[in-house]
């Protein structure tokens, strides 16, 4: 090996890795983008807002509300009269007739509203717990 070859080999060994410069990290993507060849990112399916268990719980809540409404409409409770009973009693429920039985109707409405409000509260609470 002559002097020049010896020198070249030595310098090459020293500079082998250190001459290489790195472009920015996303260089390949930039080039592919410029060529219109960027890989299409898979569309992420959004996570369902509620799990199936929560959905079942909410559905059960709504069924309960419907059941309560049916109960009130059809009667069957000693203390709370059926709305149908009131309706039949007074034939056409005029404003006056309704006012006459306002206490009973109001009781029924308050019970329904409170029930609905409690169920809505439970619904919201369940969503919060599940989403946490």
Candidates 8-16, 82-90, 114-122, 123-131 — which segment interacts with another protein by CB under 8 A? Answer: 8-16
Q: How far is the CB of 42 from another protein (least distance, A)?
A: 15
- Give the other-Cβ count within 10 Å of 11's Cβ: 10
- Asked if 26 interacts with another protein (CB under 8 A), we say no
| 98: nearest Cα among 87, 85, 109 | 87
**Residue (24 or 52) nearer to another protein, CB:** 24
**How many residues sit close enough to another protein to count as binding (CB under 8 A)?**
28
Neighbours of 72 (CB within 10 A): 20
In this chain, which stretch among 25-33, 59-67, 70-78, 106-114 interacts with another protein, using CB under 8 A?
25-33
* Calpha distance 37→28 (Å, rounded): 11
């Amino acid at each position: 090996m002559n002097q020049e070859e010896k020198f070249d080999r030595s310098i090459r060994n020293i500079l082998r890795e250190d001459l290489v410069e790195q472009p920015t990290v996303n260089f390949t993507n930039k080039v592919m983008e410029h060529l219109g060849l960027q890989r299409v990112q898979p569309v992420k399916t959004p996570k369902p807002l509620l799990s199936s268990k929560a959905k079942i719980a909410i559905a059960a809540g709504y069924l309960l509300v419907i059941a309560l409404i049916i109960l009130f409409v059809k009667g069957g409770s000693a203390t709370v009269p059926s709305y149908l009973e009131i309706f039949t009693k007074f034939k056409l429920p005029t404003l006056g007739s309704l006012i006459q039985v306002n206490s009973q109707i109001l009781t029924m409405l308050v019970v329904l509203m409170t029930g609905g409000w409690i169920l809505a509260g439970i619904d919201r609470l369940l969503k919060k717990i599940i989403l946490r």
